[in-house]
């Protein structure tokens, strides 16, 4: 099977994962996922594998195969896995779960290599671009930095007590972190390197972005420079695009009929893909704010999407 240069996948409450031709909108492969819903999808940096975070396991599928079976299952979480991602070389994977833990997995070995206790359901985990710190957000409103070198929690903050942190995003150069919560608020911090290796959070901005929940916040990628955007996807059925310089509203993407659960930028920041409870995923032009393609095929809420349209990292 020749691999498309753009990998686009979505998952739905209908217990399927679908792969799409980004330009034509055609679904060319469907994987049945009978055990649970899929909460999050992530593609490995080398475009070879797709990780699907379910309940309570993470399954790894071969993108270049037609096999419906996963090639690996990671099984030590005990509740919904809400977040999954990969180290930049694809050597290891991290995950966060409603069981209150953040885990690190060596992709080449079974079992979990490390575990950090958050003491509340973990909704979101991101890897700092320095590849040595994980930042997690949980249902009780805690944000914690896990120092992978010292193997401990190096920083803890609570922007709003008892308000769930739904999504975290870090600027590609490690300069900013944004946390979005259930009150439709984004908290923005500058990330400063202290005298130690520890990252310090300096409050920069509080943005009242939506009236409903923010289900995903995402900063634009490196190749979008010099433009810097923050996308916020909400239960109000819109996605808003904010200019990071001053956090002014650039555009509101209108077209979805229900909650927008997830979004992902193309590698150059020119496009955004979104996933919604209205069963569709959509492709948007960032320059016009217009919808360019609708991916229709799921028959229940589409809750996550993954896109890899960049070059693979050079080996060496």
The domain locations on the chain are 84-300
Query: Cα separation of 221 and 218, whole Å?
Result: 9
Rounded Cα distance, 74 and 109, in Å: 10
Backbone phi, psi, residue 85, to 5°: -165, 175
Residues 158/141, Cβ–Cβ less than 8 Å: yes
CB 39 within 8 A of CB 52: no
CA atoms of 26 and 264, how far apart (whole Å): 19
Quote the pLDDT of residue 198: 62
CA separation for the pair 199, 143 (Å, rounded): 13
Residues 6+ apart with CB under 8 A from 109: none
Compute the distance between CA of residue 274 and CA of residue 286 in angstroms, rounded to an integer: 12
Written as six digits, the tokens of 240 are: 């808003």
pTM: 0.96
- pLDDT given for residue 315 in this prediction: 46
Q: How far is 229 from 247, CA to CA, in rounded Å? A: 9
- Walk along the chain (316 residues) and give the pLDDT tens digit of each residue: 456 789 999 999 999 999 999 999 999 999 999 999 999 999 999 999 999 999 999 999 999 999 999 999 999 999 999 999 999 999 999 999 999 999 999 988 778 999 999 989 999 999 999 999 999 999 999 999 999 999 999 999 999 999 999 999 999 999 999 999 999 999 999 998 765 556 789 999 999 999 999 999 999 999 999 999 999 999 999 999 999 999 999 999 999 999 999 999 999 999 999 999 999 999 999 999 999 999 999 999 999 999 999 887 654 3
pLDDT of residue 182: 95
- Concatenated DSSP letters of 117-155: E-SS-EEEEEE-TTSSEEEEEETTS-EEEEETTTTEEEE
Q: Are 178 and 188 in contact (CB under 8 A)?
A: yes
Angle at 52 between CA 162 and CA 117, to 5 degrees: 40
Contact by Cβ (8 Å): 187, 236: no
- Give the model's pLDDT for residue 123: 98
Fold that domain 84-300 belongs to in CATH? Methylamine Dehydrogenase; Chain H (2.130.10)
- Angstrom distance (rounded) from CA 21 to CA 9: 9
């Amino acid at each position: 099977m020749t691999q498309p240069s753009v990998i686009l996948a979505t998952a739905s409450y209908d217990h399927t994962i679908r792969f799409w031709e980004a330009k034509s909108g055609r679904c060319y492969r469907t994987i049945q996922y009978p055990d649970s819903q899929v909460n999050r999808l992530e593609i490995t940096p080398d475009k070879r594998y797709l990780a699907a975070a379910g309940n309570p396991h993470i399954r790894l599928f071969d993108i270049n195969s037609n096999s419906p079976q996963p090639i690996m299952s990671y099984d030590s979480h005990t509740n919904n896995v809400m977040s999954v991602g990969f180290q930049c070389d694809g050597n290891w994977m991290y995950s966060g779960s409603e069981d209150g833990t953040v885990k690190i997995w060596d992709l080449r070995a079974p079992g979990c290599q490390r575990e950090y206790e958050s003491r509340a359901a973990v909704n979101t985990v991101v890897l700092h671009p320095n590849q040595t710190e994980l930042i997690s957000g949980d249902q009780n409103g805690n944000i914690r930095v896990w120092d992978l070198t010292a193997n401990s929690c190096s920083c803890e903050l609570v922007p709003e007590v008892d308000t769930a942190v739904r999504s975290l995003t870090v600027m590609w150069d490690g300069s900013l972190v944004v946390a979005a919560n259930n009150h439709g608020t984004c908290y923005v911090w500058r990330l400063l390197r202290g005298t130690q290796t520890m990252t310090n959070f300096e409050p920069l901005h509080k943005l009242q972005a939506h009236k409903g929940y923010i289900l995903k916040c995402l900063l634009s990628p490196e190749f979008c420079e010099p433009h810097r955007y923050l996308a916020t996807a909400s239960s109000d059925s819109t996605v808003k695009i904010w200019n990071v310089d001053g956090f002014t509203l650039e555009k509101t993407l209108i077209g979805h009929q229900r909650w927008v659960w997830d979004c992902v930028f193309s590698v150059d920041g020119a496009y955004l893909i979104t996933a919604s409870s209205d069963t569709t995923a959509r492709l948007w032009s960032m320059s016009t704010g217009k919808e360019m393609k609708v991916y229709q095929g799921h028959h229940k809420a589409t809750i996550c999407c993954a896109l890899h349209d960049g070059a693979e990292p050079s080996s060496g």
